[in-house]
Amino acid sequence: MRQRCRVPCFALSVLALLCLRPTGFAQAPAPTFEPATIDAIMQEALRAWGAPGAAIVIVKGDEVLYARGYGVKEAGGSQQVTAETLFAIASTSKAFTTTALAMLVDDGKLRWDDPVSKHLDFFHLEDPLADRQVTLRDLVTHRTGLSRHDLLWLGAPWSREEIIRRIGFVKATQPFRSAYQYQNIMYLTAGYTVGKVSGGTWEEFTQKRLFDPLGMKGANFSSKDAEKAADHATPHYKSGAGRATPTAWRNIDNVGPAGSINAGVRDLGKWIRFQLGDGTFEGKRLLSTARLNELHAPQMVIPLDGSTGVASFTRAMNPDTNMMSYGLGWVVQDYRSQLMVSHGGSIDGFRSQVALLPKHKYGMAILSNLGRTSLPEAVRNSVSDALLGLPKKDWNAHFLGQLEQAEAGDRRREQQTEAKRQKDTKPSRELSAYVGQFAEPAYGKLEVVLLGDKLALRWSSFQVNLDHWHYDTYMARGDALLHNKPVVFTLGADGEVEKLSFLDQEFKRQKPKAGTQ
């Protein structure tokens, strides 16, 4: 009897084709690293975005291939950006926080799936189910059900513990563990846990267990320290005339573990070498290989398509990606059929990007001193294409187009808001009737005062004027973070002001205590 072939015919065909490859047929040579190509990419990015300065480091395995600064530290100045120039790296700090947690997992002092309350007894979430079950892993994968609420820390006067306590009163916008929602205060909580478990602070642990062993001598944790350094960049924003205009460093010490690290690309090259390795650095083990790999593994799906604006924006910013997830302080995705592990950062006047191409052992960091720009992403993609021999694409043009669409969308929304304004209306009551104390469980106390013939609002560390919009609605003016935020007063059945809505929160009027006016 004839023996049945155990190999499918299509497999035999493939094998035959491989074996009968014509003489002279050869695989395309692997691309070689060309410093001139990187230099051209950086120069073009600075020109396209009108950025004062930027810096880049590129790593291959355990070797730094390229580290250089471009442009100037401050627009109009002559001091050149160097590989040591300090920039705010913003949310790319998050990977330092998750790596610190992973070290404590290695030390046996905590587990990723420990309830947060096991380590921080004052931490709570408003949703009872989430409050009972929320774990450290939930905190750092953005799946607690909470939206951002960044104004609870941004420009706020409260301590880290106070901010963590306040977030416990905020209502969830999605069911627990059902959706990806970026949340900085959860990272603050994770870093606070690092300090609590290690018997110190997040800064002390990160300095001792990461900065010192890696030799990151220039890196620090506060804008106060960065501004004192001899070699630091000045943050910028684009003015109405399109010019890069210097602005102040934003101090974000109160949310440090979510994004307060400042560093130059020379130091970030050491960080990338460690992240591309097996948990050792220059012969010394800092983290187990299993824990390091876990940091880069998918944990929570990030939607690329759907009806939400966030998903649509994510798709537009990642046109060559099919799947995207959040890992542990990293975004994990396919990029033009290649695995990419990365994270971006943004804070007033600075943008950053750290990216790994693990299968090819490449890594890079790009820093820029211009806010609201996709320069780091454009450079990341262009450099990745060059390193991997992928077809060239004008990423500056792509991301500039996305920015133009976003700005056009902002203008449309402003026009729609203006179109709904009921002109020639008046407040229901005299201005003094709106004056008083208001409070909300998470956002705390708010005061409306009368300054001359206009209302003003005091909340957190802010004071803004209130311009009448229509009826009992006012618009905040005078601070960039609160500009055009509506303040809507509501009258009770007795005609007195009962509450107000601000930042999508309901503040109830507080009755004066007995004996006070």
Query: 447 and 312 share a domain?
Result: no
Whether residue 419 lies inside any domain: the answer is no
Query: 350 and 438 share a domain?
Result: no
Query: 238 and 107 share a domain?
Result: yes
Output DSSP code: residue 298: -
Whether residue 248 lies inside any domain: the answer is yes
Whether residue 277 lies inside any domain: the answer is yes
Pair 356, 341: CB distance under 8 Å: yes
Answering whether pTM is above 0.85, one says yes
Query: 437 and 382 share a domain?
Result: no
pLDDT tens digits for the chain (517 residues)? 333 333 333 333 333 333 333 344 344 556 778 999 999 999 999 999 999 999 999 999 999 999 999 999 999 999 999 999 999 999 999 999 999 999 999 999 999 999 999 999 999 999 999 999 999 999 999 999 999 999 999 999 999 999 999 999 999 999 999 999 999 999 999 999 999 999 999 999 999 999 999 999 999 999 999 999 999 999 999 987 789 999 999 999 999 999 999 999 999 999 999 999 999 999 999 999 999 999 999 999 999 986 566 767 899 999 999 999 999 999 999 999 999 999 999 999 999 999 999 999 999 999 999 999 999 999 999 999 999 999 999 999 999 999 999 999 999 999 999 999 999 999 999 999 999 999 999 999 999 999 999 999 999 999 999 999 999 999 999 999 999 999 999 999 999 999 999 999 999 999 877 655 5
- pLDDT given for residue 306 in this prediction: 67
Query: 260 and 152 share a domain?
Result: yes
Alpha helices in 50-159 (DSSP H): 94-106, 128-133, 136-140
Pair 194, 97: CB distance under 8 Å: yes
Query: 206 and 304 share a domain?
Result: yes
Out of 378, 411, 444, a domain closes at 411
Whether residue 179 lies inside any domain: the answer is yes
Whether residue 425 lies inside any domain: the answer is no
CATH of the domain at 457: 2.40.128.50
Number of domains in the chain: 2
- pLDDT given for residue 6 in this prediction: 38
Q: Tokens representing 86?
A: 């300090």
Whether residue 14 lies inside any domain: the answer is no
Query: 358 and 443 share a domain?
Result: no
Whether residue 282 lies inside any domain: the answer is yes
- pLDDT given for residue 64 in this prediction: 98
What is the Cα Rg of the chain in Å? 26
Query: 237 and 385 share a domain?
Result: yes
| Residue of 44, 61, 86, 115 lying closest to 356 (CA atoms) | 61
- pLDDT given for residue 14 in this prediction: 32
What range does the domain containing 499 cover? 431-509
CATH of the domain at 78: 3.40.710.10
Query: 443 and 380 share a domain?
Result: no
Query: 484 and 439 share a domain?
Result: yes
Query: 365 and 460 share a domain?
Result: no
- What DSSP line would sit under 347-365, residue for residue? ETTEEEEEEEEGGGTEEEE
Query: 341 and 437 share a domain?
Result: no
